[in-house]
Each structure stands twice: as structure tokens, then as C-alpha cells.
């Protein structure tokens, strides 16, 4: 009789190494938001993939940042640390062609929380290398450390060698039955994902500081006969930020809303009405009470 395996996998690393893109690829559908900007991920989010031989419970985590200030930074650090402390299997994601100082800091961080649990290394972004064999000395040097159960070079962007990583993860999971129904895809509901998809478009369409001083609150989410009706507020901290986000004649906000609505329609498989407003809420990112009212703090 074939042994079934299931468990949680904490995917962690420094910002912007492709953790969310990697998990989306492994899941086979878009669950997690992505952008070229660091610190896009703010919450610990569980993505569930069930196969005939295993159930994979992937925990996406905020990028590990040292010295971040304010309540939001503390929330993100706590979400990552909790996921790492609780998971059955740990996957450190780095970007080729070498480990940077922050990768080493992430590795030092997890050593204190590891408790002999399996640790795998995903060397992402191999598609950027002209000569793949250039990785061989790095893989040999990392293997000599004796820390990693497997070292897997891969590309989250084009999907190359993801089967090897999934196989290594499956072998590292505990022998037990599935923990969630086979048709469940996440521990987060569509209301939460709607806020995330809106925030993703803010990150993708605005430069510098604007994405980092915004958050999204879903004020109303109603499933009607022919569409889902969503009303949402994007909060910023200053009037000047609101003006930039709204844009001339409302063009900026309209672009965010249109792109987010299309993503939501693909996710939900039905028409969506999305009403968006921008409001100023000074200091929300450094106010723990405000963060809790906006949906932060429940995942660490």
C-alpha cells in the first residue's frame, strides 16, 4: 500500500526572490499576488495542492527584512517567523547565480527555528543564466555545508525543474492523511483575495513609496445572480498620496480597478462589479489597532 504524505511547507527568503511566483507555479493557479517590488507579500497565506500521493500546504511568507520600522514591519516579520516555526518542511528560496548577504542572514535565522525539520534550497531564476553549468560549483559548495536535504535549481517564471522540487518536498512531508478537503485551494476566502488583487495592481502601477503606504479594505462583498458586487477602499496616509493614486481625471484609480476586476473575474469565473475609493488614514501602517481593524495581525 502506497504511503500518503501531507504537511505544511514554509517558503521563505529575502524579498523579491520569487517566492509567491514559485508557489503559484507549484499550485497551478494564481493565488498569491506578485510584483517586481519588494515586500509585496504582507500576510501568511496557505495554498493547498492535493495529488493522489500527497497534500501540499504551501505557506507563503513576507520577505525577511532586518531593521524594518513600524507596526506593519513587525507584523510581517512575525508572520514569517510563525510560518517557519510551525511548518513541517522548510524551503529557502534564493536567486541565481549566488547567495547574497541577506540569503545568508535568512539561513542563519532559520537555523535557530529549524529543530531538525527538513530544509530544502530552491535556486530560482536559472532562466537568467547563459550557462547553466556555471551553477555546479555553487551547488557543490552549498551541498558541502550539510544543511540541505536537496538543492534544486529552477525557474519559477518558466516552470523549469519544478517537478524536482515538488518531489523533494513530497519526500520530506510526514506520513499522514490529507488535512484539508481535496477541492479546497486555500485557507483564505474570496473577500480576502479581492483585497489582495486590488493591492497587487497598486504595487504594479505605482513607483517608489506609494505602494508601501497603501492598504485595501473590502467594505462590501455580495454574490448576486449574475455578478459579484464588491465595494472597496484603498487607504493611504497623506492627501498627496491620494492625489497620485487617483491620477488626473481619475485615470490612475480607473486603471487599478480595471486590472483588478479582470483578475477577479478570472479567479471567480463570473462577472464582477468593482467600486473603488481612495481615503486618507494617517499613520495606519504604524498603528497596531488600525492594522488589526484592516485585517492584519490574525496570521502570526
pLDDT in tens, 172-194: 999 999 999 999 999 999 999 99
Note the pTM of the prediction, 2 decimals. 0.83
pLDDT value for 97: 83
> Is residue 174 reached through a cis peptide bond, with omega within 30 degrees of 0 on the bond before it?
no
Domain spanning 5-172: CATH 3.40.50.300: yes
Nearest alpha carbon to residue 284 among 241, 252, 251:
241
Sign of the Cα pseudo-torsion (245, 246, 248, 254, in order): positive
What is the grid cell recorded at 40?
509585496
Q: What is the pLDDT of residue 16?
A: 84
- Interatomic CA distance for residues 76 and 299, integer angstroms: 9
Contacts 24+ apart (CB under 8 A), 223-230: 226/270, 226/271, 227/270, 227/271, 227/272, 227/273, 228/190, 228/264, 228/268, 228/270, 228/271, 228/272, 228/273, 229/272, 229/273, 229/275, 230/194, 230/264, 230/272, 230/273, 230/274, 230/275
CATH of 190-293, one of 3.30.300.20, 3.90.1170.50, 1.10.443.10, 3.10.129.10: 3.30.300.20
Q: How many CA atoms lie less than 13 Å away from 243 in the CB half-sphere?
A: 3
Predicted confidence at residue 83, as pLDDT, reads 78
| pLDDT at residue number 270 | 94
The pLDDT value given to residue 23: 94
pLDDT of residue 300: 46
C-alpha 251/C-alpha 256 separation (Å) is 9
Q: Which residue positions in the chain have pLDDT lower than 70?
A: 1, 64-79, 287-288, 290-300
Segments of the chain assigned to CATH 3.30.300.20:
190-293
As a whole number of angstroms, the distance between CA 256 and CA 12 comes to 28
What distance, in Å, lies between the first and last C-alpha atoms of the chain?
Answer: 38
pLDDT at 263: 95
- For residues 291, 297, 299, 300, the Cα torsion angle rounded to the nearest 10 degrees is 140
pLDDT at residue number 296: 64
Which pLDDT belongs to residue 62?
75
Residues carrying CATH 3.40.50.300, the chain: 5-172
Amino acid at each position: 500500500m502506497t504511503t500518503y504524505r501531507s504537511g505544511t511547507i514554509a517558503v521563505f527568503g529575502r524579498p523579491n526572490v520569487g517566492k509567491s511566483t514559485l508557489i503559484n507555479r507549484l499550485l497551478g493557479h494564481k493565488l498569491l499576488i506578485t510584483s517586481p517590488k519588494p515586500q509585496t507579500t504582507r500576510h501568511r497565506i496557505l495554498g493547498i495542492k492535493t495529488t493522489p500521493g500527497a497534500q501540499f500546504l504551501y505557506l507563503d511568507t513576507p520577505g525577511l527584512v532586518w531593521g524594518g520600522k513600524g507596526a506593519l514591519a513587525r507584523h510581517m516579520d512575525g508572520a514569517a517567523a510563525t510560518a517557519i516555526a510551525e511548518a513541517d518542511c522548510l524551503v529557502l528560496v534564493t536567486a541565481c547565480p549566488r547567495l547574497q548577504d541577506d540569503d545568508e542572514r535568512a539561513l542563519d535565522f532559520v537555523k535557530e527555528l529549524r529543530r531538525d525539520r527538513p530544509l530544502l534550497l530552491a535556486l530560482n531564476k536559472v532562466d537568467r543564466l547563459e550557462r547553466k553549468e556555471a551553477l555546479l560549483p555553487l551547488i557543490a559548495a552549498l551541498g558541502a555545508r550539510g544543511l540541505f536535504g536537496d538543492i534544486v535549481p529552477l525557474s519559477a517564471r518558466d516552470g523549469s525543474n519544478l517537478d524536482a522540487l515538488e518531489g523533494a518536498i513530497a519526500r520530506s512531508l510526514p506520513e499522514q492523511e490529507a488535512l484539508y478537503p481535496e477541492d479546497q485551494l486555500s485557507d483564505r476566502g474570496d473577500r480576502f483575495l479581492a483585497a489582495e488583487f486590488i493591492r497587487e495592481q497598486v504595487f504594479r502601477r505605482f513607483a517608489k513609496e506609494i505602494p508601501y503606504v497603501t492598504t485595501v479594505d473590502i467594505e462590501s462583498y455580495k454574490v448576486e445572480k449574475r455578478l459579484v458586487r464588491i465595494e472597496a477602499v484603498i487607504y493611504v496616509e497623506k492627501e498627496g498620496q491620494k492625489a497620485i493614486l487617483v491620477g488626473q481625471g481619475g485615470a490612475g484609480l480607473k486603471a487599478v480597478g480595471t486590472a483588478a476586476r479582470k483578475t477577479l473575474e478570472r479567479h471567480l469565473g463570473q462577472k464582477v462589479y468593482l467600486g473603488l475609493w481612495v481615503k486618507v488614514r494617517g499613520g495606519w501602517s504604524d498603528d497596531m489597532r488600525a492594522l488589526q481593524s484592516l485585517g492584519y495581525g490574525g496570521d502570526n
